[in-house]
Each structure stands twice: as structure tokens, then as C-alpha cells.
Structure 1
Amino acid sequence: MTDIQRMALPLALCNRDILGAAKTGSGKTLAFLIPLVECLYRQKWGKNDGVGAMVISPTRELAVQIFQVLCQFAKCHNFSAGLVIGGKDFVGEQDRISRMNILICTPGRLLQHMDQTPQFSCSNLQMLVLDEADRILDLGFSKYLNAILDNLPKERQTLLFSATQTKSVKDLARLSLNSPEYVAVHEKAEHATHKDLHQHFMECALPSKLDLLFSFIKTHLTTKGIVFLSSCKQVRMVYEAFRRLHPGIPLMLLHGKQKQQKRLEIFDTFSRTKHAFLFCTDIAARGLDFPAVEWVIQADAPEDAETYIHRVGRTARYESAGQALLILLPSEREGMLALLERKRIPITEIKARASKQRTIQPQLQSFCFKDPEFKYLAQKAFVSYIRSIYLQKEKSVFDVHALPTEEFAHALGLPGAPKIKIMKKAQGKNVSYQQAALQKQLKEEAEVEEESDSESEEEEDDNNVESKELAQPKVVTKIDKMRNRKNNTVLSEHHAKLVQESEGDFTSVVDGEDEDFMVLKRHDHALDESVPEVEMEHGSSEKAKKAERKLRKKELQQKGAKGERLVFDDDGIAHPLYEMGTEADFRAEGAPEEQILRRVEEGRRMMTEADVEDRDTAREKRRTKKLARKLRDREEAGLGGTEMQVTLGSASEDDMSSGGESSDAETEEDEADRDAKRPKMMDLEEQEALALRLLSQS
């Protein structure tokens, strides 16, 4: 037996309430499952006696793991055990839960059965076990736990186990513990973590964090490791980015937004894989036993020292060794190291080799530029990370205002930092104070103006108006943004030139027509004749435009100008003939560093412009899907008869209004205009065709 088993089993078998605390990987699961089965076996518990014991776990994966351990060593007993977690068939659980003797469950699904399953009762409960008790007693599960305890009998045996046990009198009073025994086998140990766990930390700037993480994975291709991030959206973005970069080792992701079946498959696959990296949130930080994990990398700092202990506990379990790496920002270093020191956690600093580091920022920028969905993931990852820092309770460690948001956004491949509402809330008090001071100052100036002469009043009024205009930022509408946009096309320069000059060339390319690669065209002798000058005005005829083009071409021929040489590729597309420049010409354009900066700025500008187009496209898709869904729901419900009013785009109230007959004062032209604005009525066949077309486009 392990230390926690040796000390907790005798007390639990004597029906004593226990607060058990031991290091991760020390065998706490058997320390409460053995007394649980023994208690029911002594009382000769049967299927008709109902629920006799219950184990509550904070996560589904941990509940599955406990259930598997129970099935392994208690298979010779006749007890019925059930796994009650979210993501499974609730109706099927309702039929069988009343016949279960042992329940392994999560708080949310257990409370759902207590509220919605009439035949489910826990009045005969003999033992209640809270695994990872400090997490369940935390604020995140408090409302669930309070409701569950109201449905449980007061006379019962209660066991609490965790690597970081709570001692709060208020929390223990909620559980109605009867003289509990505190069993902490490692409380007086020199360190709070495993003795064979080698712990390191590395200081890294926020924009370079992903570069460091990818470089670490590339240099550990024969390793099994877990990477902890602070949010689900970060896990998805980092996994998708690294997957596209092909590091040479299997990558997986695990977070709370996945379907339950998918989570179980990933949990089982990673457990059986020899070399892989798992990107996950704190959902995998507690209790899960992944075999042979060598490295635990905390890319985002934990919220407190207890979370750090649980994270690094995924490696160095029982008698095996392991490595742990904590990546800290410069603003987090001092505060986090102080927290770890108070918890007796030994950690040393290491440096990264410059020769092994590589940057992935250009690749991320390319992904965001080419794939709008990846750019959306990057934006959500940026916002979720800033929000997680803002919501941290340890303000001495996490300072959201110290984060280089613009540089971090560029490191994710974004053209700029997305707008975040919480940043405005954090600065709300300061902004309101500044506005109040400005209004007070304007009021004092107005009082002074009343006492001064008329000339000074006019001058000061102008100053007040200017100060008010400066205080109130100018509202920029979407139309203003569209008018101020530059380089609305992302096509290359030579392609734009071909499109612009296609009307004046001898041959033109027509989309959708199967023409030969080379087209012979007769020489137009009309070009040799003198053509009088034609003044080009707005709305001029096609004949005048043609005459002006002929005149321009004749002038070029007289000057001896030569046409631009083109090179055709395998697809028949024309490209300008590029020639290698000399080193002197290259140096004349400026220093290499300056040229690099100019090209980077040009790329960012293009990405910013493409960002606006992507948002418009996404907005149009959402609107199309919404309309198609409404049509589909209306068709399934069989409502509305054979005709339906369908409008595309935005319409004013006058356009959307439908009235009766026109009054006598209305003219025939007004009636025609109103009928033209009125939405068209479509029959059922046209509605079905429109819905199918919209669905195919979406």
C-alpha cells in the first residue's frame, strides 16, 4: 500500500469521516473505493436497496477513470455500478439509475437526475466521496453541490480526497462532517511535489511564446507531453496552427467544448500513444492518469499554486520520473515565483538555445491571409487569452494592462489587435473621471466668459467648441471606411494591368469560351488614317471611345514605343518578363532592413484590407443561412399557404409597408413607384428553389 492508503483505509473502514490529502499519483483512488465496496458488502446491499454509495468528480474524464478502476477490482461482487456524466443518453440513464447501487458521477448530471427523474432517490445513501474535493467545493460547483446536499441524508459517511485539500470551516460545515480525520501524509515533506519531478521555468515575451513552444516540440519528437493553455479557443487555434506546420509528431487536443464521445476517444488514443503532444485546458489537470508522460509544458501560467501542483502531477506518477516546464511572462515572473515558493515548490530557471529557436510568425500570417476561418480562430484565441488574464484573481501576478496586445496580435498572424470590451471596462473609471474633470473645466470657462467682454466671449466659445470636439471622438461610419480604403483589389500588379488594358489589345480573353491558345486577327487599317481629336466626356458614346483609343495607339506607334514583353506560363497566363537587377540597384532602394520593414508593412496593410472583406463575406453568409433556415422551418411547419413574402437585403419602413388601395390624392406615378418598391410574391416552387440555392451556397 502507498502512504495515503496505509493511513486512510483503517479510518475509513471504521466509518470515520476523512479529509485525505496526498501528492498526485499516490493511489488516492483505491483509498476511497476499497472502503466504499467493503461498506456495501458488509451490509449485504442488493439491487432493490437503491443507491448506497456515490462518488462525485469535477470532470467527466476523471469520472470515467474512476469507473474503470472500480470495474477492475470489484468485478467479483454483485453490485450494480453506473457512470452518470454529461454527453450521454439522459433518457436511457433514467430507466437504469434507480437500479444502481454505486454511482460515479459529475455534479451537473447528478443534479439533473435529482430534479427530473421521479423514481431516483438517495434517501438510503451510506457513503459520499468527493474526489478533487477542493475543486468541487470551489465557487464553480457551489450551486450544484448545495442543491445535491439538500437531497442527501445527514447520517452518512463522507470522504474528501485531493492533492490540495481544503481546510475551510465554512466549506466543511456545508458537508455536515462528523469529527473528520485529517490525513495529510506529505504535509511535512520538504517539497509539495514528487521527489523525481524536475521543474523548470523560462521567461519569454508574449509575442514569442508560440515560437518557443513550436521550437520545443520540434526538438522533442520522441517525447510524450501535455501542453496546458488557459482557454478552449487557444487550444483550438494552437492545435490548428501547429498541425498545418507539420512538426513531425502526432498532435491532439482536449477541451470542454468537444462532444463527449470525441473526448473519450482522444483520452483513450493519447493514453495508448507512445509519442505525441496533447494540447488541453485545465480539464485534464486533475486526477487523470496518462501513462508514460515525460513532459508537462504550461504555456500559460496557472491561476494559483494549487493549479500548478495538479498540472505537473500528470507526470512523475507513483515511482516514475518526469519533467515540467513553466513559461512565464516578464510581468508574471516575480509574483508567480513567490506563490510557488510559499507552497514549497522547487523550480529552477533555464534558457533556450538560440540555435534551436525558430519563428513561425510568417506562416501564421500566411494562414490568416489565405484562410478566413483560421483568422477567426486567431481572433477568438486573442480575445479569450486577454479575458482569462483579466479574470484572474491573483492581480499581483496577472496584469492585463502590461500585455503588449499589438505585438501579440501580430505574432498570431493578425493585422491588428481586435477590440475587447473588457479593456474598456477596466479603464471605465479613469475615463469617467477624465470626462467629469473636462466638463467641470468647461463649466468654469463658461462662467468666466459671461464676465468678459463680447470679443473674448466669442474667442473662448470657439475654444470650448474645439475642446468638446476633441473630447468627443468622431464617429466613423462604414461608408466612410469604404471610401477611405486603398488598393481595393488583392490581385497582382501585372494582372490588374492586363484587365485595364484588355480593351485596347489586339486579343482579349473571354471567360467561359474555349478559344485557341493563339488567335490571329486582321490588321485594322483604320488605325493608319488620321483621326481627329475627340473630347471624352462623361457618358460619351462607344464610337468616341473607340476613336480615342485608335488615336492613342497611333501616337505611340509614331513615337516608336515598343510593347511590353510578356512570358506565358503553362496555363496560358501572361506575365511580365522580370530581369535580374544589379547589386547597385538593390542598394539604391535602401538598406535591407528598411526594405524588409517596408514589405512587412505592405503585407499588414493588405491583410487589414482583406480583413474588412472577410467580415463582409461572413456577415453575408450568416444572413443567407438565417434566411434559408427560416424558409426551411416554415416549410417543415406547413405554415403560410402557397405564397410567402421574401425580401433580400435591407429595406426601409416605406419599402416594407403594405397598405390598401391608394387615396385619391395619390397619382398614378406614386402608385407605380410603390408597387416597384413592394417586395415580390413568390409561389411555393420558387420558394423551394430559392431555399435549395441558398443552402448550396452556404
Structure 2
Amino acid sequence: MVAPGITGRTQPAKVKKRAAAQKRKRDDVDVEKLEQAVAELDLQNGSYKDFTDLPLSDPTKQGLKSSHFAVMTDVQAKAIPLALKGHDILAAAKTGSGKTLAFLIPMLENLYRLQHIGPDAGLGALVISPTRELAIQIFDVLCKLGRHGHMFAAGLIIGGKSLEAERQALSRMNILIATPGRLLQHLSQTVAFNMDDLKMLVLDEADRILDMGFQKDVDAIIEYLPKERQTMLFSATQSRKVKDLARLSLQDPEYISVHAEDRTATPKSLQQNYIVCPLEEKLDTLWSFIQASKKSKIVCFFSTAKMVRFVYESFRHMQPGIPLVHLHGRQKQGGRMDTTAKFSAAKFSCLFATDVAARGLDFPAVDYVIQVDCPEDVDTYIHRVGRTARYNREGRGVLFLTPSEEEGMLKRLEAKKVPIEMINVRQKKKQSIKSQLVHMNFKDPELKYLGQKAFITYTKSIYVQKDKEIFNIKKYDLEAFAASLGLPGAPKIKFLRDDKGRQTKNASKQALEVSESSAGEDEEAPKDAKPVRTKYDRMFEKQNRDILADHRKKLIRDGEEDEASGLQDDFAGGPSIANGEDDFLAVKRRIPATADGVTIAPEEDEPVRLRGKLVNLSGATQPLIIDSNRREKLLKSKKKLLKFKDKGKKLVYDDEGNPHEVYELEDENDFKAKGLPEEQRQKFLEVAREVVAQADVEDKATAKAKRKEKMRKRKERERMGAEGVGGEEGGVEIEDTGEDALANFRADAEYSDEEEEKQQKKPKKWFQSDSEEDERSSKKRKKGKKSDRHVVEEPQTLEDMEALAAGLLG
């Protein structure tokens, strides 16, 4: 008998198991008290500054205290009380103003009061983020905030991870943070995943979600969600798309615009400057800036991923004396997470990134944000510089502008209340890295190829921009920019060539129209107007350079002299025969060719021309003209002759043997005359039913006749076996059916003969001897003799009967 209080264990229970046992009991939660405190919140007259002023649960208060959050920001003070009461919210606030806590705290509190815990409760809250990095950051904040007593199961669903592992965990989640693409994939493919019990939906950086092309995904996701829910949209900027989305997904929302009355759209602690820098000097200026700021934390933004990779690899080889990391959308998920973790933990570092890092990411203590490439619009600029000067910290942003971008971008910034000042670069401290880049590209072909791709992608990013007042591709010195990357020349870009060709073609057409109109008015056409050359003109101008070499042109005249002399070559469609005085060989006379022995003579009215012969092809309405050796070779290829033959029609044959096309369209009027479609359908079914019934009757009659014939043959065989087949003595008359009655017996006999031959031909085993084989054969012969004694043959004559009787008497 074990004493009370002793479990019999040799070791105490683990702490985790004890905690799990406590998790199942929630008797200590005073939900009614919290509900009453939330109901007493005064949204109009009440002023809340600290988190302790709000009716929050003890686990949330402990999480805020451990994370050192005490005073609320403006957006938190306005959004959290509304969200606690269950209102839909559309909020806009500056970057770094604490929007993440503004929706995470109400999410935890609302689910806590509803006791929405455990796998049976299902999914209670969903947060949608535009990028993976921001989703990971929100998940980390949620874990820090809720690990002091909250018992919700939280999950993270982003691209780049195992889909099967996420499927297995989805059914147990209460809170989910996800990116739109992967979430929609699970909603459409994962069977056990449903959102019928969803209570809260949050869209963080809603404008960015829509700008990145996720609008269709978000619309599809909302279709899966229950309509009775609480929805919150948070963004640093408001756009028309966000308002449209709010109109579709929010019900009587509360609009929160904290900094709408501020004079500036960016934090006051952010110092913003710009530099007018030619395109070819951007990398020199950036290198010089990094060299002067080695004891700082810097984020540099570029427009394309290839540009980020090239600058990172180039600067890494030159060793600037500061840790370098890079972040872009083409990296694998593990690499992206490692990069953000390294840069967040580093004291001094430089991050090269695309706009993947421009939204919502909270890198601690960033000193400078350098926008090397001009942002596409002011909203992107605001989000980029928002990586510094967060939570009332100081920071500085520097924007690089080319001379062609300066005027248009400053207008856009001024319209959005963004204060920015111009600064100059000290030329004494500026260093040129062009020679080093040339040397590295020469030694490393992969780096050179990366530089070419960076040039192409950057040029394309400018070319596709909508705001042509800022981004005009013609105003950039692309040759100088390619040289600044260390490239020997600017790579050829297809869309720029096509654009130039299109302009040239349009200009030539306009010139031709002007010349035609002026010629119609009996005026001389301008000399500069060039004729339009189509692709067919260029095709006929091509030559086989292996055969028609340059020296052959001496044997060919120009077309004008050809027409005057009455000689013209129709073979190649252009080149004619030369007749110069200085030429060594000159063609004076040409003998016309013959077709089938008949000379093709030119008519009197037309000039002498070299004619070809006509070949009538089977299956072709038009004859084939053979006027060159190349066309004569066509006759040897059946595949090439198919192009000149008429296209056939596929026919099928009906039961009567009449051919008709596979698909024959009936006239619409004839179809309508037969009646309504439903009536025609019923008629067709009736006819088909009758045909099937008739065929069924015929099949049954045929089967019955076969069974009768089979029965008759079986009875005939039984009668033959009982009475015997004996010709005259048996008196049985067998009907001659015309079939070979001994066919089956022959088959059996042949089969037995074959078996005997096989047995005779069977080889001896290794343990058998010749004597054993002889004994076995003698035994078989003896057995055969004994069996012969017992066989009594039927006597046919009187002598046979006497012999049989003598044998029986002994």
C-alpha cells in the first residue's frame, strides 16, 4: 500500500507535463469581470495612455511588462479600445507607430474572453501579411506577448516551407499568421482546414497586399470566411484599393487616421535629405558613404534583385570594413530568415535589399536608410525611410536622384507633405571604384554576367514605370552606366531595340504618306523620304553567302540596266546579269529553258524572261512553278510538297457506306423548324430506345437459337454413344452435316503422338544410367503385353468366333 501523497515514481514529474495538466483547467479565469470592464469603456470621453488603463487579462499584462511596453502610442490608444468592443477598424498611421500591438492585443483579449482554446474550438483569428519577413516578425511579437499564460495554439503559414507539415498542424490552430498565396493554397487543397468559427480577421499593410498583385487572392480568401466576424485593416498609407476592399469586407467600420492633421507624413525625428547624383556615379557615391559610416547600421534599397546581388558581390570582394548582408525575394526562405536575424542582431552592418524589406520590418537601431534607386512612388519612399526613426528614435534617410528624376520626384514628395532637403557630396572624400569593378569583371566571368543582368533588369524597371515625368528612359546615359558597373559595353536590350525600330518604321510611313500626298498635288516628293521596307522585302534581299559570294556580283547587272536591255533574272527575285567593260566575264546572251522538250518562247510584247516549267501535283489545284534549283529539290521531298497541296477533309463512313465529314453543322433555321431543343431531345431518346429494344429482341432470339442448336448436338452425341456407329449392322443412320467428325479425335491423336515424342526425347538425369533406362522400358513392354491379354476384340467372321471359343476353352 502506497502512502498518501506518494505516487510511486522514482523521479518527479517534468515541469512541462505539469504545465500541460494546468492548461486543461481554466477555472481561475474571471470572464464575467473582464466582460463588464470592457463594456464600461468610454470610447468618446475616455483617455487612455498606459496599457494598465485598459481592462486586460493578467497573461497579457505580464507579456507587455516582460517586453517593456508601458505607454501606448496614438494609434494603439485609439484602436485597442474600439477593437476590444468588437468594432471593425480601418486604421492608417505612420511607419513605426506600433500598429502590430494595436491588433495583437485585442486579438488575444477577445479570444481569451470567449475561451476559444484547444483544437476543438477551431481557428479563431487570422492575420494576413504581404511578405514572409513581416509575417515572421508578427509571429515573434505574438509569441513574446502570449507566452506568459495564454494557451492558444498559434501557427505561421508562409511560402518556402513544407506544405505537408503545415497541413498536419492546421487543424489544431487557434491563431494563424499567413501570407495570401500560401493561405489560399491551403484553403483550396487542405481538406481538414476550415474557417467556420473565425472571429477576427486582420490585414496588416493592406495597401501593400493589394499593390503586390494579391487582390484576387484576398477576394478569394474572403469568400471562404464567415460574414459574422470582426475585421481590421492597418496600413501606413491609404489608397483607393484599400477603401474598395474596406467597403467589401468591413461592416460599419471605425476610421482611425492618427497623423492626418500632422504637417508631415513621416516622423518628426526623421531627417530626410537627397543627393543629385548622375546614374554612372551612384556606386561611387554609395561606396564612399559606406566607407565614411563604418560604425553605423545602414539599409540600402535597390529596385531589382539582380542589382542587389551584383552590388553585394562586388562590395564584398572589395572588403569595405563593415559586415554586408543582402535580402531579396529570389532567396530561399532559410536564407531570408538568417539574413534578417543577422542584421537585427548586428551592432554595425549594411543591408542591401529590395522593396521586400520596405514594409513593416522592425530592424532595431537603424541609423541610415539609403535609397540608391528612386522609388516608384511616394508611398514606397515613406515605407522605405520608415525602417529608421521608429518608436520616437532618431534616424536619417538619404535619397539618390539623377538630374532627370529630381524635378518630378520633388513635386510628388511636396504634394504628400514629405519635407526633404538637398545636400552635396564632398568631392575630396569621394572615391571611384570603376577600375576595381572592371578588374573584377575581367577576372570573374560570373560577376560580369551578374553585372549584365543587373544592367538589364534596372533598365527594364525604369522602362515599365508608369510615371514618365520622373522615369524617362531616353534621359539616362545607359552607356556610361554600363561602364560604371565595370562592363566593356552596354548589353543589348530587346525592348529598347524594338522601340527604336517601331519609331523608325512609323517615321518612314509618315514620310511615305507625305511624299504620296505631295506627289498627288503635282509636287516633287522630298528626297529624304525613304520607302517602307516590309519583312517580305528584307526576306527577298537575303542571300546565301556561302554560294553567292561578293565576287559573283560582278557577273550581275543592276535592275535598271536589266530592264533597259530586256534581260532580267527571275530565279533569285532580284539580281541580274552584269555587262561591264572592265569585267573579265560578261553574259551577252541567254538561251531560254525548255519544259518537256518544248521551248518556252517569250511573247513579242513582253521582254525576254527566263521562264520555269509547271508541274501538276496530285491533290493540288494550282500547278507548282519550278523556276530554280531550290524549287526543283522540292519534288524530292514529300513533306515539303504538302505545303503546296490542298488540305484534305477527314471523312467517316456510316452504316450504309456513305462518306461524310466528321463534324457537320446543321443549319440553324432547319434546327429551329424541328421544334424546341427539349422536344428534339425527347424524340431522339424515344427513337434510340426503340432501336435498343429491337436490338435486344434480336439478340435474345439469336442466343435462343444458339442454345437450341447446342442442345441438339449434345443429344445427337449421346444417342451415338448409346447405340454405336456401325454402318449396316448398327442400323444407325448419321446425318451428314458437312463437318469433319474426326477432327477432335485427330487432334487428340496428334497430341498423344507429340507427348510420346517429347517423352522419348526427354534427356536423362545426371543420376540415371543406361541399365536403369533399359529396365524401365522392359517393364513398360511387359505391362503392355499383360494389358493385351485382357483385350477382347469383337469377332467379325466365323473363323474369328472359332478362334475365340478355342481360346476360352483353353
TM-score range, shorter chain: 0.5 to 0.7
Evaluate the alpha carbon distance shift between residue 156 and residue 246 of structure 1 in structure 2; reply closer, same or farther with a 3 A threshold.
same
Alignment-mate amino acid for residue 100 of structure 2 = T
Question: Structure 1 residue 22: deviation in Å?
Answer: 1.4
Aligned to 1:112: 185
**Number of equivalences:** 476
Aligned to 1:6: 77
Evaluate the alpha carbon distance shift between residue 473 and residue 398 of structure 1 in structure 2; reply closer, same or farther with a 3 A threshold.
farther
Aligned to 1:67: 139
Question: Structure 1 residue 435: deviation in Å?
Answer: 3.4
Aligned to 2:115: 44
1:19–1:165 CA contact under 8 A, matched in 2: no
Evaluate the alpha carbon distance shift between residue 447 and residue 105 of structure 1 in structure 2; reply closer, same or farther with a 3 A threshold.
same
The one of 245, 255, 272 equivalent to 2:328 is 255
Question: Structure 1 residue 414: deviation in Å?
Answer: 1.3
Question: Structure 1 residue 281: deviation in Å?
Answer: 0.2
SS of residue paired to 1:355:
coil
Deviations 1:241-292 (A, max 9, x none): 1111111111110000000000000100011111110000000001101111
Unaligned runs of 5+ in 1: 484-652, 658-698
Question: Structure 1 residue 392: deviation in Å?
Answer: 1.6
Deviations 1:552-592 (A, max 9, x none): xxxxxxxxxxxxxxxxxxxxxxxxxxxxxxxxxxxxxxxxx
The one of 184, 191, 207 equivalent to 1:134 is 207
Equivalent positions of 1:327-476 (< 5 A) are 327-427=400-500, 430-440=503-513
Aligned to 1:244: 317
Aligned to 2:234: 161
Distance in 1, matches of 2:295 and 2:497, equals 45
Evaluate the alpha carbon distance shift between residue 464 and residue 161 of structure 1 in structure 2; reply closer, same or farther with a 3 A threshold.
closer
2:515–2:529 CA contact under 8 A, matched in 1: no
Question: Structure 1 residue 12: deviation in Å?
Answer: 0.5
Question: Structure 1 residue 133: deviation in Å?
Answer: 1.0
Question: Structure 1 residue 439: deviation in Å?
Answer: 4.6
Aligned to 2:569: none
Alignment-mate amino acid for residue 26 of structure 1 = S
Unaligned runs of 5+ in 2: 1-71, 550-632, 638-810
Aligned to 1:31: 102
Equivalent positions of 1:303-314 (< 5 A) are 303-314=376-387
Evaluate the alpha carbon distance shift between residue 305 and residue 387 of structure 1 in structure 2; reply closer, same or farther with a 3 A threshold.
same
Alignment-mate amino acid for residue 493 of structure 2 = I
SS of residue paired to 1:123:
coil
The one of 81, 84, 96 equivalent to 2:169 is 96
Q: Please state if 1:284 is matched with 2:349.
A: no
Deviations 1:305-356 (A, max 9, x none): 1111111111111021011100001011011111111111111110000110
Question: Mean alpha-carbon deviation: is it higher for 9-18 or for 389-398?
Answer: 389-398
SS of residue paired to 2:214:
helix
Q: Please state if 1:179 is matched with 2:255.
A: no
2:207–2:242 CA contact under 8 A, matched in 1: no
1:122–1:152 CA contact under 8 A, matched in 2: yes
Evaluate the alpha carbon distance shift between residue 469 and residue 79 of structure 1 in structure 2; reply closer, same or farther with a 3 A threshold.
closer
Alignment-mate amino acid for residue 421 of structure 2 = T
Distance in 1, matches of 2:162 and 2:542, equals 51
The one of 123, 128, 135 equivalent to 1:56 is 128
The one of 69, 87, 93 equivalent to 1:22 is 93
1:133–1:166 CA contact under 8 A, matched in 2: no
Evaluate the alpha carbon distance shift between residue 424 and residue 288 of structure 1 in structure 2; reply closer, same or farther with a 3 A threshold.
same
Distance in 2, matches of 1:187 and 1:85, equals 33
Question: Structure 1 residue 446: deviation in Å?
Answer: 9.7
Q: CA RMSD in A?
A: 3.1
Q: Please state if 1:144 is matched with 2:217.
A: yes
Question: Structure 1 residue 168: deviation in Å?
Answer: 5.0
SS of residue paired to 2:379:
helix
Question: Mean alpha-carbon deviation: is it higher for 324-333 or for 364-373?
Answer: 364-373
Distance in 1, matches of 2:538 and 2:452, equals 25
Distance in 2, matches of 1:477 and 1:279, equals 51
SS of residue paired to 2:249:
coil
Aligned to 1:271: 344
2:91–2:235 CA contact under 8 A, matched in 1: yes
Alignment-mate amino acid for residue 250 of structure 2 = L
Question: Structure 1 residue 63: deviation in Å?
Answer: 0.3
1:236–1:253 CA contact under 8 A, matched in 2: yes
Distance in 1, matches of 2:509 and 2:173, equals 65
TM-score, normalised relative to structure 1: 0.64
Aligned to 1:229: 302
Evaluate the alpha carbon distance shift between residue 250 and residue 433 of structure 1 in structure 2; reply closer, same or farther with a 3 A threshold.
same
SS of residue paired to 1:218:
helix
Deviations 1:577-623 (A, max 9, x none): xxxxxxxxxxxxxxxxxxxxxxxxxxxxxxxxxxxxxxxxxxxxxxx
Deviations 1:487-523 (A, max 9, x none): xxxxxxxxxxxxxxxxxxxxxxxxxxxxxxxxxxxxx
TM-score, normalised relative to structure 2: 0.55
SS of residue paired to 1:253:
strand
Which structure is higher in RCO with an 8 Å CA cutoff and minimum separation 6? 1
1:229–1:299 CA contact under 8 A, matched in 2: yes
SS of residue paired to 1:146:
helix
Larger radius of gyration: 2
SS of residue paired to 1:306:
helix
1:54–1:129 CA contact under 8 A, matched in 2: yes
Aligned to 2:795: none
SS of residue paired to 1:99:
coil
Distance in 1, matches of 2:234 and 2:125, equals 15
Evaluate the alpha carbon distance shift between residue 69 and residue 469 of structure 1 in structure 2; reply closer, same or farther with a 3 A threshold.
closer
Distance in 2, matches of 1:90 and 1:109, equals 9
Aligned to 2:196: 123
Question: Structure 1 residue 421: deviation in Å?
Answer: 2.4
Question: Structure 1 residue 465: deviation in Å?
Answer: 12
Alignment-mate amino acid for residue 320 of structure 1 = R
Aligned to 1:205: 278
Distance in 1, matches of 2:107 and 2:133, equals 21
Question: Structure 1 residue 134: deviation in Å?
Answer: 1.1
Distance in 2, matches of 1:260 and 1:28, equals 25
Deviations 1:525-565 (A, max 9, x none): xxxxxxxxxxxxxxxxxxxxxxxxxxxxxxxxxxxxxxxxx
Question: Structure 1 residue 427: deviation in Å?
Answer: 4.5
Distance in 2, matches of 1:132 and 1:465, equals 56
Distance in 2, matches of 1:465 and 1:320, equals 66
1:191–1:344 CA contact under 8 A, matched in 2: yes
Deviations 1:142-191 (A, max 9, x none): 12111111111122111011111335576235642111111111111121
Alignment-mate amino acid for residue 372 of structure 2 = A
SS of residue paired to 1:194:
coil
Evaluate the alpha carbon distance shift between residue 189 and residue 447 of structure 1 in structure 2; reply closer, same or farther with a 3 A threshold.
closer
